[in-house]
C-alpha cells in the first residue's frame, strides 16, 4: 500500500477525496493527530532553544520528546487504519458458497472488524496521552507560540473524536458483547478526558491574549 | 516560499515541528480544513456513483463541488497564513533608528498584523460555510461512510477554532478599536455556528451506528 507520509500533501488529499474505500476518516484523524504532535514539538523546541525560558526547560524537554514520538506513532496508525479497513473489505469478498466457506468468511470478518476497532482506539489513546501534556506546555512554553499550543489541542481532540467515531462504527458489526462493552467504556473515558483537556488548554491560551 | 501542498506529508510535518516561525497553527488549521473538505467530497462522490442513492443526487452534487473548491481554498489559505506571518516578522525587523524609520516601521507592522488577522478569519469563514452543508450530507449521503461525515465535521470545527485563535492573537497587537470589535463580533458568530453544526452532524452520525 502507498505510504501516506511519502505522498505530497496534495496527493494525500486526493487519496482522501477519491472514491476508494481507504484512506478515510480514521486515517485523516491520525494525520490531524500528527499535526498536533508536530505543533507541540515546535512550541517545546522554541522554548528549549531560549535561555530566557531556562526555568521551564526541565518541564518542557519531555514534551518535545513525546511530541516527536507521537508524530511517528500517528503516521504509523494512519497507515494501519487504512490497512485494517482494507482487510475488512477483503474478508467480506471471500467466497460464501459452502458452509465451510461461510464459517471461514465469518471468522475472518469478525477478526478484521475487531482490528478495525482496535487501531483507531490506539490512535485515540495516543492523542489523549499527548493532550495530557499540553496544559503544562501552555503554562510553561514560549508565550509567543501559545496559540500554537491551542491549535495542537484542537487537532488532538479532533483526532480523538474522529478515531472514536471509527471505533464506534466498527463495534456495530461485532458480536462479542464483552469486547464491545469494554471498548464503549474506554470510549467514554477518552472522550471525557479529551474534552476536559482541550477546554483546560484553551482557557490557558485565551488568558494570555 | 515552499508550496506546502507539494511537500510530502512527512516534510510538511517536519516544517510544522521545526523552530522556524512558519508554518504554525494557522497553516495547520487550514490543512485540517482541507482534510475535512476532502472527506466531504469523498462521501458525496460515493453517493453520486451509486444509483441506489439517486434520490439524494440533486442534494449531494453541490456538496461534492463545494468540497472540491473548499479544499483548494484551504490550501491557498494555508500558504497565505504563513506568508502573512512572515510579513509580520519582516516588518518587526525593519530599522527603527530615525523618527521617520520608526513611523514607517509602525505603519508596516500595523498593516501586516491586520492581514495576519484577516487571513485566518477567511479560513474560519470557509470552514463554517462547508460545515453548513454537512448535516444534509450526514442525512442523505451514502450511509456506509457516515462516520467520515462526522470526521469531516470534527476537522472543520478544529479548523474554525484553530484559525480563530490566530485571529485572536493577532488582534491583541492591533490598535484600530473598530476593526478589533468587528473581528471579535465575527469570531463569536463563527464559533457559535461551528459548535452548533458540529453537534448537529455528530448527533446525526451517531444515530446511524
* ipTM for the assembly: 0.97
- What value does the mean pLDDT take over residues B142-166? 97
Smallest Cα distance from B23 to chain A, Å: 9
Q: What mean pLDDT value characterizes chain A?
A: 97
Chain A residues in contact with B68 (beta carbon < 8 A): 17
Q: What mean pLDDT value characterizes chain B?
A: 97
Tell me B132's DSSP state: T
pLDDT digit string (tens) for A7-54? Answer: 999 999 999 999 998 999 999 999 999 999 999 999 999 999 999 999
A71 pLDDT above the threshold of 90: yes
> Cβ separation of B9 and A35 shorter than 8 Å?
no
Chain B residues in contact with A31 (beta carbon < 8 A): 9, 35
Q: How far is it, in rounded angstroms, from Cα A116 to Cα A110?
A: 10
Among A9, A25, A36, the residue with its CB nearest the CB of B9 is A9
- What value does the mean pLDDT take over residues B33-37? 98
Confidence of residue A85 (pLDDT cuts 50, 70, 90): very high
pLDDT digit string (tens) for A146-203? Answer: 999 999 999 999 999 999 999 999 999 999 999 999 999 999 999 999 999 999 999 9
- What value does the mean pLDDT take over residues B146-170? 97
Chain A residues in contact with B166 (beta carbon < 8 A): 147, 151
Smallest Cα distance from A140 to chain B, Å: 17
B209 pLDDT above the threshold of 90: no
> Cβ separation of B75 and A18 shorter than 8 Å?
no
For chains A and B, count residue pairs whose Cβ atoms are closer than 8 Å. Answer: 186
A100 pLDDT above the threshold of 90: yes
Among B18, B31, B42, the residue with its CB nearest the CB of A17 is B42
Among B13, B24, B158, the residue with its CB nearest the CB of A154 is B158
- What value does the mean pLDDT take over residues B4-20? 97
Chain B residues in contact with A49 (beta carbon < 8 A): 19
B197 pLDDT above the threshold of 80: yes
The pLDDT assigned to B110 comes to 94
Among A35, A147, A206, the residue with its CB nearest the CB of B13 is A35
* CA-based nearest residue in chain B for residue A143: B169
The pLDDT assigned to B2 comes to 73
pLDDT digit string (tens) for B40-55? Answer: 999 999 999 999 999 9
Query: A interface mutation test: which of B70, B151, B199 has the most A CBs within 10 A?
Result: B151
The pLDDT assigned to A1 comes to 62
Amino acid at each position: 500500500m502507498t505510504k501516506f507520509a511519502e505522498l505530497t500533501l496534495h496527493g494525500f488529499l486526493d487519496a482522501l477525496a477519491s472514491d476508494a474505500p481507504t484512506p478515510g476518516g480514521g486515517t485523516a484523524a491520525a494525520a490531524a493527530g500528527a499535526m498536533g504532535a508536530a505543533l507541540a514539538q515546535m512550541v517545546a523546541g522554541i522554548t528549549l532553544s531560549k535561555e530566557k525560558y531556562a526555568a521551564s526547560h526541565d518541564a518542557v524537554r519531555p514534551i518535545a520528546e513525546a511530541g516527536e514520538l507521537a508524530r511517528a506513532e500517528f503516521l504509523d496508525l494512519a497507515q494501519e487504519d487504512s490497512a485494517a479497513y482494507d482487510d475488512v473489505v477483503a474478508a467480506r469478498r471471500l467466497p460464501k458458497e459452502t458452509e465451510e466457506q461461510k464459517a471461514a468468511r465469518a471468522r475472518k470478518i469478525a477478526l478484521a472488524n475487531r482490528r478495525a476497532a482496535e487501531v483507531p482506539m490506539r490512535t485515540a489513546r495516543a492523542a489523549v496521552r499527548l493532550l495530557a501534556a499540553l496544559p503544562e506546555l501552555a503554562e510553561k512554553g514560549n508565550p509567543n507560540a501559545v496559540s500554537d499550543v491551542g491549535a495542537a489541542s484542537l487537532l488532538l481532540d479532533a483526532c480523538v473524536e474522529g478515531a472514536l467515531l471509527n471505533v464506534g462504527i466498527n463495534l456495530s458489526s461485532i458480536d462479542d458483547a464483552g469486547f464491545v462493552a469494554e471498548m464503549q467504556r474506554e470510549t467514554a473515558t477518552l472522550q471525557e478526558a479529551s474534552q476536559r483537556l482541550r477546554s483546560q488548554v484553551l482557557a490557558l491560551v485565551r488568558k494570555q491574549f
